[in-house]
Amino acid sequence: MLEIHNSLSGAKEPFRPMDPPRVSLYVCGMTVYDYCHLGHARAMVVFDMVVRYLRESGYRVHYVRNITDIDDKIIRRAAELGESIDSLTARFIGAMHEDADALGCLRPDEEPRATGHIDEIVAMIEGLIERGYAYVAGGDVYYAVSRFPDYGALSGKRLDELRAGARIEPGEHKQDPADFVLWKGARPGEPSWPSPWGDGRPGWHIECSAMSTHCLGNRFDIHGGGLDLKFPHHENEIAQSEAATGEHFVNYWMHNGHVRIDDEKMAKSLGNFTTVRDVLAAHDAETVRHFLLSSHYRSPLNYTADALAQARAGMERLYTALRGLPGDIGSGTPGAVFSARFHAAMDDDFNTPLALSVLFDLARELNRARGAADMERADSLGATLRNLGAILGLLGESPDAYLQSGGGGDAVDAERIEGLVAERAAARAARDFARADAIRDQLLAEGVILEDKAEGTIWRREG
């Protein structure tokens, strides 16, 4: 049975959806003012993996991932670039989709945008005011944190600690330093919408409460996002949503760990980020997915050139095992024990490192079957390997194409290499071994490895 580590309880819990086989999942998406970096890619790939595995397990997943398309950062960036907010957000939404597609991520079933749900946001704020959880001050609306007794249950933070480290900034009218804004009164030159409290725009936290309950209802199964969103964003979502509806908000909270560079969290604010498109210019998408899944989703992940090289080498091992086998995905009875081990790993809070190790064990067994000339067993094991890899979004390429791709970076002159391989074969047939060896050495110096098989010579790029 699948168990999920629930950030709210701090423990692994058996997964029992409210309305099986339906599963409702909401993931906090991007604030679209710049290109996605590798930290965003981790969240994309982690929750893509979660959706894939839940569907593989027979669940009908309703996957919602929002887009924040109005925010202080967006307004500032548009002003810096002299670009309209609509143009800026449309451009970076398109770039986000390109990055997610390139990483092999499934599109969400719904992708609500904050500006498309102003009516729901205003209605939720009205309800919070009526119930005494929010107040109007200076044209803004604030959430009164002290009115919600369970505030801090997700993050473990206490109100007195929050007050000690907070202050009321100039221009703010909140009654308590821990209170947070639900609606910002209109500022000159900024976009705004009408409301009962005057023109303005929503605060960040209320957007997700309104969009998630609109798409999935007052209570749903899983809410996911990066660890940095646990506080204050997700803590505030709980306070808003439960105060507005009177119902328990989310059953399971999932948070993925940070991607780190030099032991610091990768973030645009720190200036130490690497964009998804820069990484994909140097490494193929499956290598990047393998890297992002090589550590448990809740653990930090350190980004290094060596880690990417190891991920590429791992993918080459898997594809080399599949080389020459049927490309279709079918049943693989001899691989049943590996399939059981894989599912046991994934049922243990989506333990992808252990699941990947099962794939490598399976590839080893496949190679043994091939070495024993038991091609029926090898074909069946290969089908299992393809099936299990697909659950992680891996092994979707042709082995020859993948192994000859070189893992991204400089384009491979495949036609020239094929010509040299053919010339070497002709030289060997003519017993001109000096020329054959010279061609092998030339290609090796270029990072191209030749393998002489009974059916001919195959080649691959070094990772």
**Which residues contribute to the annotated binding site for ATP?**
268
The partner residues of 223 in beta bridges, in order of sequence, read: 26, 253
**Separation CA 317–CA 395 (nearest Å):** 11
Give dist(CA 198, CA 192) in Å, integer.
9
One-character DSSP codes across 17-68: -SBTTEEEEEE---B-SS--BHHHHHHHHHHHHHHHHHHHTT-EEEEEE-BB
Neighbours of 75 (CB within 10 A): 18
Decide if 175 contacts 168 (C-beta within 8 A).
no
Of the candidates 400, 398, 395, which has an alpha carbon nearest to the alpha carbon of residue 418? 400
Phi, psi angles (nearest 5°) of residue 373 = 60, 25
Task: Provide the strand spans (E) within 214-362.
Answer: 220-226, 250-256, 259-261, 264-265, 301-302
Is residue 192 exposed (0-12), middle (13-18) or buried (19+ Cβ within 10 Å)?
middle
> 141 φ, ψ to 5°?
-125, 135
* Contact status, residue 71 vs residue 115, Cβ threshold 8 Å: no
Q: Tell whether omega for the bond before 21 is within 30 degrees of 0, i.e. cis.
A: yes
- How far lies 424's CA from each of 137, 303, 429, 443, in Å? 81, 40, 9, 11
Q: Token pair of 289, please?
A: 């997915």
Angle value at C-alpha 262, between 260 and 263, nearest 5 degrees: 55
Q: How far is the C-alpha of 43 from the C-alpha of 292, rounded, in Å?
A: 9
**In 3-state terms, what secondary structure has residue 253?**
strand
As annotated, the binding site for Zn(2+) includes 28, 208, 233, 237
Binding residues: 28, 208, 233, 237, 268
Q: Which residues contact 382 (CB under 8 A, 6 or more apart)?
A: 321, 322, 325, 326, 332, 366
d(CA 111, CA 55): 19
**By C-alpha distance, which of 66, 69, 99, 67 is closest to 84?**
69
Q: Say which DSSP state 408 is in.
A: S
d(CA 382, CA 375): 10
